[in-house]
Amino acid sequence: MSSGASSAAGAATAEPPEPLALRLIGRGSLAGAAIVMAIALVYAVIVPAVADSVSAPAPPRIVEIGGGATVSVTDDWSVAAASPGVTTLTQGGASLVITVPHESDLHPAQAIDGVIDEWLSAGQGEIAVAPSPRAFTTDAGDDAVTVALQDPLRSGQAWVVSDGSRQVVALLTTPQAGWEAASASAQTVIRSLELPAEPS
């Protein structure tokens, strides 16, 4: 057999090269197996956990509005200087004023009419009011009503929330350009409103 044929036969019967990973850590090595397991653990558990903690939004802040009531706000809302009986939150050019809970047995659908009347009396020029107030329930289970309001200079939205004996009124004012985002964010704030438990 020629040397060329011998070389070809030797190449055909030669074992494939050992993977680099096995050459580095040693075949059958207990230490090598531990390294492989550690790397797998990092990719399967630690890396996803770190990614989740980095990408997870910050938890909402609890803001006391007086009378034992609270709302939850995201970091883009700031608490402005408080005035007696109200808490004012700001977000960019938007302002959300929330009253301290006060006693009232009016249903929110009735109370919202008074809020609309006040807005109309204080407005400038022609004022548009949404066709009808919209009812919803807060996360705490209280009845609430909201209505959108607008005049030539500003857009607004009013809310009335009631647990049957106590009531909170809130009013959002914002430049018309930022209306949609501010309205959606303020709705989330008002939906989070929690009134304190009534004394037994």
The string of pLDDT tens digits covering residues 29-86 is 556 556 666 666 666 666 666 655 555 566 779 999 999 999 999 999 999 866 789 9
**Is residue 36 domain-resident?**
yes
Q: Is 11 helix (H, G, I), strand (E, B) or coil?
A: helix
Q: What is this structure's pTM? A: 0.69
**Is residue 196 domain-resident?**
no
- Asked if 9 and 66 sit in the same domain, the reply is no
**Is residue 31 domain-resident?**
yes
- Asked if 125 and 85 sit in the same domain, the reply is yes
pLDDT in tens, 81-122: 667 899 999 998 899 999 999 999 999 999 988 887 877 776
What residue type is 120 in one-letter code?
L
- Asked if 31 and 130 sit in the same domain, the reply is no
CB 158 within 8 A of CB 114: no
Best CA proximity match to 169, nearest among 94, 52, 63, 86: 86
Q: Is 152 helix (H, G, I), strand (E, B) or coil?
A: coil
Pairing of strands 69-73, 102-103: unpaired
Task: Look up the domain containing 161 and give its range.
Answer: 61-191
- Asked if 17 and 95 sit in the same domain, the reply is no
- Asked if 77 and 117 sit in the same domain, the reply is yes
Structural domain tally of the chain? Answer: 2
Q: Is 164 helix (H, G, I), strand (E, B) or coil?
A: coil
